[in-house]
Amino acid sequence: MHEMSLAEGVIQVLEESAVAQGFSRVKKVWLEIGRLSHVEAEAMRFCFEAVCKGSIAQDAELEIIEIPGTGWCHECGKQFEYQARYDPCPHCNGYQVQMVAGDEMRVKELEVE
């Protein structure tokens, strides 16, 4: 379950932000997770709750925003919603597809005190 190490990384980002920006508590976290990132949302919620105990984000609410996958086809030049890695382009059935979005994970917004 790699979500545990990802959740620990999120806590580290929150703690570094608290030092840099001078807040003492995180109340809510908006986390963007790409559909193609191989991060299970429910596992992330469980792990986030576990690693928050005793941290600056204890009892913080986690809001997960799913980012759709987007691909760009080298063959026909069209951009499209990418459902799964290695799927062909739905316009020309070409396999020379570059992922443009959907594999990222980032803290989008925080509510703090």
pLDDT in tens, 12-61: 999 999 999 999 999 999 999 999 999 999 999 999 999 999 999 999 99
Indicate the residue type of 102.
G
Q: What is the pLDDT of residue 1?
A: 58
Q: Give the pLDDT confidence score for residue 83 in this predicted structure.
A: 87
What domains appear along the chain, each with residue ranges and CATH number?
3-112 (3.30.2320.80)
Check residues 1 and 15 and name the one with the higher pLDDT: 15
pLDDT per residue over 69-92, tens digit each?
999 999 999 999 988 888 999 999
Q: How far apart are CA 101 and CA 39, in angstroms?
A: 14
User: String of b and e for 56-74 (b: at least 16 CB within 10 Å)?
Assistant: bbeebebebeebebbbbbe
Counts for the chain of helices (H) and strands (E), in that order: 2, 6
Compute the distance between CA of residue 68 and CA of residue 85 in angstroms, rounded to an integer.
12
Q: Which residue has the tokens 């062909």?
A: 88
pLDDT for the residue numbered 72: 97
